[in-house]
């Protein structure tokens, strides 16, 4: 067993796997990030109809294993091949990569919605009342007051969710996507060299550490008033 | 559809049921292992020694930064390697494989322990120091203060976090199907292979996990209410 030999022989493959992991995580998180704010707004302020549509979705996404969701979408869609072909969607579901990204996006949307709902509900009432009092329209209110503050509250939790999603993306390897985990399994099966798994661990830890550092930095950018205060010296 | 879930040779009802029971068993056996590791990790990260603190930080960071699936693989394959290396020292040529169940308990326990350590550390830190000081003032030993004052109150702060971890643990048991443990997910796959009804069986599996999670949440909400019963009354 020589970890360096494994790295020399399979390094490019691992690098490729890392790109794949970042791609599925990034796409999944971003697609979810596009939908989550509107669903969160719905969840925080919507009526009974909105609630009764959203709550079962969120509860199901959070109450079932991601692996089961992935199998349901990937293998389950195979059962409806003729129907999917008829409406011209089969090319999408045929690819395990697409199914994985779709599953992760659906799953992360549920989590991000709940996180952002917490953020929206954490915006002090007074801020909203003050904006109304100076005659802001609903759109301006959301854009200038509610969402900026809600995101600032939700930011750390959103970062955690993205890390969880990154870790969960290793499940894609089960449906033959060659992300870091998939490459590690492939190399291990070929060489029976345990260090393949350890290299995967190193890569995942590197990704997590880098992400945590970047996210902390972005948290400071999101709160320029705190930064400005720090620059002026402690008060 | 009823036919597919029938018990006996014709249907898959009994296989799915046995898989569900194994899922519950795996989660139930892992929970105490994870709790012990969680307390250990919390003690490490609250310790006065810098070395122990670093150890606790390393454990919790590694476990929380790595995919659960990878941890499982490392425990399953690495555990076997380690055991065999040890066994070969004692008697050459001996070979031993750790069972998927054991690997699942160890790997999921390690993951649970890392997150539980953070929850417990937070809970210890939110206990008001005045109470421990009061204990000291009336001459209690450190051990007595821990068992009689800090631990009982810890429960109240830690319960919501631990409840979430339990639900995550229930869901993470599905990963062990990848190393061929015949739990719910695996049994569903077996049924799919024969019947070619993936959508139905994976939907059934999802429904069963969902019921388990929702039930857990209901029970946990009751437990939280019970844990906070003194507090709610005081605030009302």
Q: Is A131 within 8 Å of chain B by CB?
A: no
Please tell me the predicted confidence (pLDDT) of residue B1: 63
- Residues in chain B with CB shorter than 8 Å from the CB of A167 are 65-68
* Backbone phi, psi, residue B3, to 5°: -65, -40
Q: What is the DSSP letter of A173?
A: G
Query: Residue-wise pLDDT tens for chain B (236 aa)?
Result: 666 777 777 778 888 999 999 999 999 999 999 999 999 999 999 999 999 999 999 999 999 999 999 999 999 998 888 887 777 777 766 666 788 999 999 999 999 999 999 999 999 888 888 888 999 999 999 899 988 888 888 888 999 999 999 999 999 999 999 998 888 999 999 999 888 889 999 999 999 999 999 999 999 999 988 888 877 665 54
How many other CB atoms are there within 10 angstroms of residue A41's CB atom? Answer: 19
Q: Which fold has domain B27-184?
A: MetI-like fold (1.10.3720)
Q: Indicate if the pLDDT at residue A99 is higher than 70.
A: yes
* Backbone phi, psi, residue A89, to 5°: -115, 0
Please tell me the predicted confidence (pLDDT) of residue A9: 80
Q: What is the DSSP letter of A170?
A: G
Q: What is the CATH number of the domain that holds A208?
A: 1.10.3720.10
- Cβ atoms of B199 and A79 within 8 Å: the answer is yes
Using CA coordinates, name the residue in chain A closest to B217: A63
Query: 3-state DSSP: chain A helix, strand, coil percent, rounded to 5?
Result: 85, 0, 15
- Cβ–Cβ of A63/B210 closer than 8 Å? yes
Out of A167, A185, A201, the one facing B68 most closely (by C-beta) is A167
**A31 vs A10, which has greater pLDDT?**
A31
Please tell me the predicted confidence (pLDDT) of residue B11: 76
Report the alpha-carbon distance of residue A135 to residue A137 in Å, rounded: 6
Report the alpha-carbon distance of residue B105 to residue B30 in Å, rounded: 5
- Cβ atoms of B95 and B80 within 8 Å: the answer is no
Please tell me the predicted confidence (pLDDT) of residue A6: 77
- Cβ atoms of A199 and A184 within 8 Å: the answer is yes
- Residues in chain B with CB shorter than 8 Å from the CB of A62 are 213
How many other CB atoms are there within 10 angstroms of residue B217's CB atom? Answer: 17
For residues A72-95, average pLDDT: 89
- Residues in chain B with CB shorter than 8 Å from the CB of A72 are 198-199, 202-203, 206
- Cβ atoms of A159 and A117 within 8 Å: the answer is no
How many other CB atoms are there within 10 angstroms of residue A10's CB atom? Answer: 21
Out of A67, A181, A209, the one facing B70 most closely (by C-beta) is A181
Q: Is the dihedral of CA B88, B91, B92, B97 positive or negative?
A: negative
Please tell me the predicted confidence (pLDDT) of residue A210: 95
Report the alpha-carbon distance of residue B26 to residue B105 in Å, rounded: 7
Q: Domain count for chain A, please give it.
A: 1
Whole-model pTM: value is 0.89
- Residues in chain B with CB shorter than 8 Å from the CB of A173 are 69
- Cβ–Cβ of A68/B69 closer than 8 Å? no
Report the alpha-carbon distance of residue B121 to residue B104 in Å, rounded: 25
- Cβ atoms of A31 and A101 within 8 Å: the answer is yes
Write the pLDDT tens digit of every residue in A161-197: 999 999 999 999 999 999 999 999 999 988 888 889 9
**Residue A170 Cα distances to A25, A95, B198, angstroms:** 10, 17, 22
Write the pLDDT tens digit of every residue in B34-69: 999 999 999 999 999 999 999 999 999 999 999 999
- Tally A–B CB contacts below 8 A: 115
Chain A window 185-204: which residues touch B at a Cβ cutoff of 8 Å? 185, 188, 194, 197-198, 200-201, 204
| Token reading at B71 | 């941890």
Write the pLDDT tens digit of every residue in A36-68: 999 999 988 878 888 888 999 999 999 999 999
Report the alpha-carbon distance of residue B39 to residue B117 in Å, rounded: 6
Please tell me the predicted confidence (pLDDT) of residue A200: 94
The domain of A223 spans 3-231
Out of A63, A169, A200, the one facing B214 most closely (by C-beta) is A63
**Residue B155 Cα distances to B39, B84, B144, B159, angstroms:** 12, 40, 17, 6
Out of A68, A188, A204, the one facing B209 most closely (by C-beta) is A68
Interface predicted TM-score of the whole assembly (ipTM), two decimals: 0.89
């Amino acid at each position: 067993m020589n970890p360096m030999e494994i790295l020399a022989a399979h390094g490019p493959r691992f690098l490729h796997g890392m790109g794949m992991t970042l791609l599925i995580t990034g796409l999944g998180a971003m697609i979810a990030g596009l939908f989550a704010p509107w669903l969160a707004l719905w969840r925080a302020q919507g009526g009974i109809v909105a609630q009764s549509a959203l709550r079962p979705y969120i509860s199901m996404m959070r109450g079932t294993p991601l692996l089961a969701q992935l199998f349901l979408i990937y293998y389950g869609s195979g059962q409806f091949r003729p129907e999917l072909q008829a409406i011209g969607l089969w090319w999408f579901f045929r690819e395990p990569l697409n199914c994985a990204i779709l599953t992760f996006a659906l799953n992360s949307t549920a989590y991000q919605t709940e996180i952002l709902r917490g953020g929206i509900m954490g915006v002090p009432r007074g801020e909203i009342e003050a904006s109304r009092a100076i005659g802001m329209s609903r759109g301006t209110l959301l854009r200038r007051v509610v969402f900026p503050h809600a995101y600032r509250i939700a930011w750390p939790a959103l970062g955690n969710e993205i890390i969880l999603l990154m870790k969960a993306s290793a499940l894609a390897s089960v449906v033959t996507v060659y992300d870091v985990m998939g490459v590690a399994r492939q190399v291990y099966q070929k060489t029976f060299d345990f260090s393949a798994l350890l290299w995967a661990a190193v890569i995942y830890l590197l990704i997590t550490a880098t992400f945590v550092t970047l996210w902390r930095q972005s948290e400071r950018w999101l709160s320029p008033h705190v930064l400005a205060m720090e620059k002026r010296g402690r008060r | 559809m009823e036919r597919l879930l029938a018990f006996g040779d014709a249907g898959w009802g009994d296989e799915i049921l046995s898989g569900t029971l194994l899922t519950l068993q795996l989660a139930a056996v892992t929970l105490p292992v994870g709790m012990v590791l969680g307390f250990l990790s919390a003690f490490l990260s609250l310790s006065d020694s810098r070395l122990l603190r670093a150890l606790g930080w390393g454990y919790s960071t590694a476990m929380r930064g790595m995919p659960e699936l990878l941890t499982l693989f490392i425990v399953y394959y690495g555990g076997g390697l380690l055991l065999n290396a040890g066994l070969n020292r004692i008697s050459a040529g001996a070979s031993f494989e750790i069972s998927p169940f054991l690997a699942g308990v160890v790997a999921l326990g390690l993951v649970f322990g890392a997150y539980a350590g953070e929850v417990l550390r937070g809970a210890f830190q939110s206990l008001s120091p005045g109470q421990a000081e009061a204990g000291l003032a009336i001459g209690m030993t450190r051990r007595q203060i821990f068992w009689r004052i800090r631990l009982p109150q810890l429960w109240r702060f830690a319960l919501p976090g631990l409840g979430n971890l339990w639900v995550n643990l229930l869901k993470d048991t599905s990963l062990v199907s990848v190393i061929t443990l015949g739990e719910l997910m695996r049994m569903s796959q077996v049924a799919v292979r024969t019947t070619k009804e993936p959508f139905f069986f994976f939907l059934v599996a999802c429904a069963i996990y969902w019921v388990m999670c929702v039930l857990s949440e209901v029970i946990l909400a009751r437990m939280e209410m019970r844990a906070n019963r003194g507090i709610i009354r005081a605030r009302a």
